[in-house]
């Protein structure tokens, strides 16, 4: 993620208009200071206009802002100009800011020497800056030299990030990779005639050779080493450079972006970088371990902050519209079907998924179509988290001190940082989660996909304004935090999921819940059960659980736990389905189990509703 | 939202299209503005740099990288033939002599005394960029290509596979709801663009391949047949480079769906004429739909190019593009402005569609497509 490069604004900011230019839609929000706090007041959206016939991103921006004008009665536009600063109570805004992922976002290729060391460090740095990494090349990636060169030639990235070697270490492999890149003469995705931006963030000793080899052929920028020593990653300088080059080179090639940059009062950020920034801000402010997910039409971004370490990954081909068919390819039909509470023949389902792919803006109109989309989203979320876990790891290649007790553990370096038991909060974003007709649907989709362990809070982004707030936080953190807390986050509630397995109907845990109104409930949670209790958004309840002897709630098998749990628009979900979650293998029992769970939490309307 | 509808695919008897023909890297433009070009005519040419072969001489000769120049027989920039000696050592005993021979015919592009590598490059390959459509060059893009303009009939499909081809239009079925069966595909259709009806089966695909048709335009196919045709499951709809023997364009979608009658009528009206078609589809970051372009020399009487639409109106003919009424066509009979709750419990903007039999249905606005100029 790009760290906040605070922009100095010397006037008070009371009215802010922010846009996010997505691949298909440009979303605008108006933020106003009401009393002492900032609130998001109006929103508008319009199709993104990067493509023909408009080929000017600002058209979509102006259309989206015009919608806010209509709704709010505030005059913001003067022809093609945004009126800044405010002239009076109903005219103008104090600043306009924007993020962008239009045109497919920022696509990067990264190189390293050892694939799971500098290769991964470079990948993490690029992902953290909001890029989609289209390939990772490394000296030991198993490809022959000419295959590497062919690969570089055939890719058309927006930018290349080269890393490799610790400072003062051997230069040969880094220089060799530079030679491959030079031989391939890579060309950028947009603009046939301009030089491809390339960032070198490897062994400092190799800088002169790299400059000699690549200085002429690319728009080379040299920065500090991403991995100066094996034990430490230093991604910030490379991320800064990526952000600078994104603005200076890549965005200058996209239609209308020069105008957009001039219109904006702060640097335009890549959308995922802005989302990452706001996620990191929440985690820091609340001292939380969190996982954030943004499931879009084309891609799924996963963010995590564990023990203060931020990571982001993007699964470029997992999404709910353009990439929906790829979810089917990657997850397999059986994995999708296991979440569908009715039978449907394979051909019909395949054709339906393909029809959604080719007409991505359509929405489910019937309940069974909605249930199919929710089934697919569970798999997309699950696969994206698996991908994230594989990259959000401790540094690999670092020597570890071991004691005699570690001898039998056989643990290698590079263990994933994602510990579901230590996870405090899951934040969901993206159409399928933000716009689910019932909030419990979003909650259960995330619970089924992520299988949280122990106690986990869940929330969703109400109308997908995290990108806007991310960029806003770089100029006014208070405004961003105010809006985030009051208008953006919708707390769904808490999920309590005991770890362990048992036969359906067997005792999983005894529980006692003390509700905020003084009422208490004492009962038994059985294996195979889901139970939902209403606890208001701003209230907390106290729950004491006495798990069965093979069941663990974080304190050890059979050990009782008492915790305060946060309410939400859904409430408290007790998940007695066991972890890892296993669905019945045969179809009738699986459908029966799904039907029982769905009705226990009121997931979908029934015939009588 | 003011623009909450899905613009339809263009199906028009008369329009003017411009196609940018741009080389993947700078080259030479072979035509000039005002030139008439044919679809198979080269309009620009580029030299694609040859493949690069790295050889690590230092490793192969067991010497230090900075010593390689002493062992090289050839120097940077020299031409080499396949199996010609590039470098050799000079041992005291001839028996220990090692010769490194060139694996390719090409040039020595660079030497590195840091890594001990020599990079060899094959000769460049000529890439001719063809005009794709019969038309007029209206714009030159120096060193990159041209813009070709054609007055034509244009049909956009919803999805396609395969690249740019051209050929004579032939309609193989009688009605738009008739599936294209293997018996419809005859030997004389080789090199032609075959228009089918509602469905293309795996058997018909095999027959088409055997006959050697250039392209097929049809209402729908099954996803499983597409998978069999491609040999893999298509995950993301970015196509155009597949090589399955013919270019395939779907006008409606997946499943058995009659070709929209306007599309069928239009294509039927151009039987025997030459069409340029492309299956290239990209439904992400810059929508590209497959297309059938039938150039026409004269403007038909009374024809006007259709202006860009701004929204949806009462009386518009629309196609429903999502189940449960997928593929049905009707007229917009009401446009309520308030949000309406649909069976999924979502509150969305809807419209009412009246079907030819007089029945009506309420459909989310995002689930219809306007049939332009119907």
SS (H, E, C) A224-269: CCCCCECCECCCHHHHHHHHHHHHHHHHHHCCCHHHHHHHCCCCCE
CATH classification of the domain holding B209: 3.50.30.10
Q: Is A478 helix (H, G, I), strand (E, B) or coil?
A: helix
Query: Which of B25, B159, B346 is closest, CB to CB, to A358?
Result: B159
Q: What is the mean pLDDT of residues A401-430?
A: 74
Q: What is the mean pLDDT of residues A124-134?
A: 85
The model's pLDDT over A467-480, given as tens digits with 9 standing for 90+, comes to: 999 999 999 888 99
pLDDT at B124: 86
Highest-confidence segment of A271-285, B178-192, B325-339: B178-192
Please report whether residue B136 resides in a domain: yes
Say how far apart CA B302 and CA B14 lie, in whole Å: 10
Whether residue B166 is found in the same domain as residue B260: yes
Q: Which residues contact A409 (CB under 8 A, 6 or more apart)?
A: none
Whether residue B244 is found in the same domain as residue B173: yes
Whether residue B223 is found in the same domain as residue B169: yes
Q: Do A605 and B345 touch (CB under 8 A)?
A: yes
Domain boundary among B75, B100, B121: B121
**CA separation (Å) from B230 to B202, B205, B214, B244?**
11, 11, 17, 7
pLDDT at A392: 82
Please report whether residue B303 resides in a domain: no
For chain A, what are the domain ranges? 15-102, 105-258, 290-395+414-600
Look up the domain containing B60 and give its range: 52-121
| Better pLDDT: A151 or B171 | B171
Instruction: Measure A229 CA to nearest chain B CA, in Å.
Output: 22
Name residues 289-318 of chain A within 8 A of B (Cβ).
297-298, 317
Whether residue B324 is found in the same domain as residue B193: no
**Residue B327: closest C-alpha in chain A:** A355
Of the candidates A19, A22, A49, the one whose C-alpha atom is nearest the C-alpha of residue A272 is A22
Q: Do A103 and B286 touch (CB under 8 A)?
A: yes
Q: Is A170 on the interface with B (CB under 8 A)?
A: no
The model's pLDDT over B54-103, given as tens digits with 9 standing for 90+, comes to: 889 898 888 898 888 889 888 888 999 999 999 988 887 877 788 899 99
Domain boundary among B265, B295, B325: B295
The model's pLDDT over A276-286, given as tens digits with 9 standing for 90+, comes to: 888 888 888 88
Residue B4 has pLDDT above 50, yes or no: no
CATH number of A105-258: 3.40.50.280
> Is domain A15-102 classified as CATH 3.40.50.300?
no
Chain B residues within an 8 Å CB radius of A183: 52, 54, 109-110, 119, 121
Domain boundary among B88, B121, B154: B121
Whether residue B221 is found in the same domain as residue B363: no
Of the candidates A130, A126, A99, A9, the one whose C-alpha atom is nearest the C-alpha of residue A469 is A99
pLDDT at A500: 94
The model's pLDDT over B335-369, given as tens digits with 9 standing for 90+, comes to: 998 889 999 999 988 999 999 999 999 999 889 98
pLDDT at B1: 37
pLDDT at B339: 87
Whether residue B141 is found in the same domain as residue B243: yes
Residue A2 has pLDDT above 50, yes or no: no
Query: Which of B223, B235, B321 is closest, CB to CB, to A362?
Result: B321
Whether residue B87 is found in the same domain as residue B137: no
Please report whether residue B325 resides in a domain: yes
Please report whether residue B2 resides in a domain: no
Instruction: Measure A321 CA to nearest chain B CA, in Å.
Output: 9
- The per-residue pLDDT of chain A, averaged, comes to 88
Residue A554 has pLDDT above 50, yes or no: yes
Q: How many residues does chain B have?
A: 374
Q: What is the mean pLDDT of residues B6-24?
A: 83
Whether residue B186 is found in the same domain as residue B41: yes
Residue A39 has pLDDT above 70, yes or no: yes
Whether residue B182 is found in the same domain as residue B249: yes
**Number of CB pairs, chain A paired with chain B, less than 8 A apart:** 188
Q: What is the mean pLDDT of residues B270-296?
A: 88
pLDDT at B3: 41
Whether residue B218 is found in the same domain as residue B247: yes
Please report whether residue B301 resides in a domain: no
pLDDT at A4: 44
ipTM rounded to 2 decimals: 0.87
Please report whether residue B291 resides in a domain: yes
Whether residue B90 is found in the same domain as residue B194: no
**Residue A604: closest C-alpha in chain B:** B344
Q: Is-contact A162 A200, C-beta < 8 A? A: yes
Q: What is the mean pLDDT of residues A583-590?
A: 92
Domain tally for chain B? 3
Q: Which two tokens stand for residue A44?
A: 């508008």
Residue A127 has pLDDT above 70, yes or no: yes
**CA separation (Å) from A526 to A507, A545, A578?**
5, 12, 10
Please report whether residue B177 resides in a domain: yes
Query: Which of B3, B143, B286 is closest, CB to CB, to A51?
Result: B286
């Amino acid at each position: 993620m790009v760290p906040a490069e605070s922009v100095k604004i010397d006037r008070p900011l009371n009215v802010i208009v922010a846009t996010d230019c997505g691949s298909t839609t440009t979303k605008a929000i108006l933020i106003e200071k009401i009393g002492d706090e900032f609130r998001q007041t109006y929103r508008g959206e319009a199709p993104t206009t990067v493509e023909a016939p408009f080929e000017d991103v600002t058209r979509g921006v102006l259309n989206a802002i015009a919608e806010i004008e209509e709704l709010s009665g505030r005059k913001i536009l003067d022809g093609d100009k945004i009126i800044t600063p405010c002239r009076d109570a109903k005219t103008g805004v104090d600043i306009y800011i924007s993020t962008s992922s239009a045109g497919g976002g920022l696509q990067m290729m990264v190189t390293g020497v050892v694939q799971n060391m500098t290769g991964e460090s470079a990948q993490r740095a690029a992902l953290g800056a909001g890029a989609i990494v289209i390939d990772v090349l490394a000296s030991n990636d198993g490809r022959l030299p000419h295959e590497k060169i062919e690969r570089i030639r055939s890719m058309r990235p927006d930018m290349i990030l080269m890393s490799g070697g610790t400072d003062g270490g051997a230069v040969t492999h880094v220089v060799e990779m530079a030679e491959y890149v030079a031989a391939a003469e890579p060309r950028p995705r947009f603009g046939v005639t301009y030089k491809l931006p390339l960032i070198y963030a490897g062994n400092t000793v190799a800088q002169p050779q790299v400059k000699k080899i690549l200085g002429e052929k690319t728009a080379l920028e040299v920065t500090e080493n991403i991995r100066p020593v094996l034990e430490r990653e230093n991604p910030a300088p490379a991320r800064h450079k990526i952000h600078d080059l994104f603005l200076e080179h890549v965005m200058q090639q996209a239609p209308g972006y020069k105008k957009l940059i001039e219109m904006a009062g702060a640097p335009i950020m890549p959308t995922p970088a802005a989302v990452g920034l706001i996620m990191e801000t929440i985690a820091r402010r609340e001292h939380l371990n969190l996982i954030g997910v943004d499931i879009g039409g084309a891609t799924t971004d996963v963010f995590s902050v564990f023990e203060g370490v931020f990571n982001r990954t993007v699964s470029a081909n997992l999404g709910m519209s353009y990439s929906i068919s790829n979810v089917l390819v990657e997850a397999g039909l059986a994995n999708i079907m296991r979440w569908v509470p009715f039978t449907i023949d394979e051909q019909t389902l395949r054709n339906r998924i393909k029809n959604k792919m080719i007409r991505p803006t359509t929405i489910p109109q019937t309940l069974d179509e909605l249930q199919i989309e929710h089934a697919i989203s569970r798999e997309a979320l699950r696969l994206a988290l698996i991908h994230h876990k594989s990259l959000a790891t401790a540094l690999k290649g670092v020597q570890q001190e071991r004691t005699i007790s570690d001898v039998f553990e056989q643990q290698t370096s590079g263990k994933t940082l994602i510990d579901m038991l230590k996870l405090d909060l899951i934040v969901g974003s993206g159409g399928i989660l933000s716009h689910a007709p019932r909030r419990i649907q979003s909650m259960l989709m995330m619970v089924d996909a992520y299988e949280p362990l122990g106690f986990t809070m869940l929330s969703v982004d109400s109308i997908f304004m995290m990108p806007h707030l991310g960029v806003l936080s770089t100029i006014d953190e208070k405004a961003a935090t105010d809006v985030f807390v009051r208008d953006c986050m919708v707390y769904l509630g808490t999920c309590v999921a005991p770890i362990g397995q048992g036969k359906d109907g067997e005792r999983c845990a005894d529980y006692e819940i003390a509700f905020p109104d003084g009422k208490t409930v004492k009962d038994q949670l059985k294996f195979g059960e889901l139970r939902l209790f209403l606890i208001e958004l701003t209230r907390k309840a106290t729950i004491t659980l006495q798990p069965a002897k093979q069941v663990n709630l974080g304190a050890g098998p059979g050990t009782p736990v008492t915790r305060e749990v946060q309410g939400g628009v859904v409430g408290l979900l007790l998940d007695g389905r066991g972890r890892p979650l296993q669905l019945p293998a045969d179809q009738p029992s699986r459908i029966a189990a799904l039907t029982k769970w769905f009705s226990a939490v009121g997931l979908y309307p029934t015939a009588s509703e | 939202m003011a623009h909450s509808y899905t613009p339809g695919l263009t199906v028009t008897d008369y329009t003017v299209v411009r196609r940018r023909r741009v080389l993947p890297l700078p080259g030479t433009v072979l035509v000039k503005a005002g030139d008439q070009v044919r679809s198979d005519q080269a309009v620009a040419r580029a030299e694609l740099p040859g493949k690069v072969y790295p050889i690590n001489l230092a490793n192969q000769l067991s010497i230090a990288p900075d010593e390689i120049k002493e062992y090289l027989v050839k120097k940077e920039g020299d031409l080499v033939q396949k199996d010609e000696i590039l470098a050799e050592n000079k041992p005291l005993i001839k028996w220990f002599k090692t010769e490194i021979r060139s694996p390719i015919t090409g040039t020595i592009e660079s030497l590195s005394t840091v890594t001990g590598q020599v990079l060899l490059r094959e000769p460049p390959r000529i890439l001719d960029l063809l005009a794709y459509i019969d038309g007029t060059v209206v714009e030159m893009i120096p060193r990159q290509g041209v813009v070709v303009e054609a007055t034509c009939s244009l049909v956009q499909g919803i999805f396609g596979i395969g690249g740019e081809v051209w050929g004579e239009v032939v309609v193989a079925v009688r009605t738009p709801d008739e599936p294209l069966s293997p018996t419809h595909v005859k030997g004389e259709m080789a090199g032609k663009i075959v228009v089918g009806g509602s469905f293309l089966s795996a058997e018909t695909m095999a027959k088409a391949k055997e006959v050697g048709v250039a392209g097929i335009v049809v209402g729908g196919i099954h996803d499983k047949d597409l998978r069999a045709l491609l040999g893999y499951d298509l995950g993301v709809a970015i196509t155009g480079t597949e090589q399955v023997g013919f270019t395939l364009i779907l006008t409606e979608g997946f499943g058995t769906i009659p070709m929209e009658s306007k599309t069928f009528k239009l294509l039927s009206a151009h039987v025997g004429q030459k069409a340029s078609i492309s299956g290239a589809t990209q439904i992400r970051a810059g929508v590209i739909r497959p297309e059938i372009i039938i150039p026409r020399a004269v403007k038909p009487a009374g024809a006007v190019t259709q202006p860009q639409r701004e929204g949806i109106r009462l009386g518009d003919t629309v196609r429903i593009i999502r189940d449960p009424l997928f593929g049905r066509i009707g007229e917009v009979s009401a446009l309520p402005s308030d949000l309406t709750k649909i069976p999924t419990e979502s509150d969305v903007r809807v419209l009412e569609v009246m079907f030819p039999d007089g029945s009506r249905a309420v459909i989310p606005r995002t689930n219809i497509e306007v049939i332009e100029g119907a």
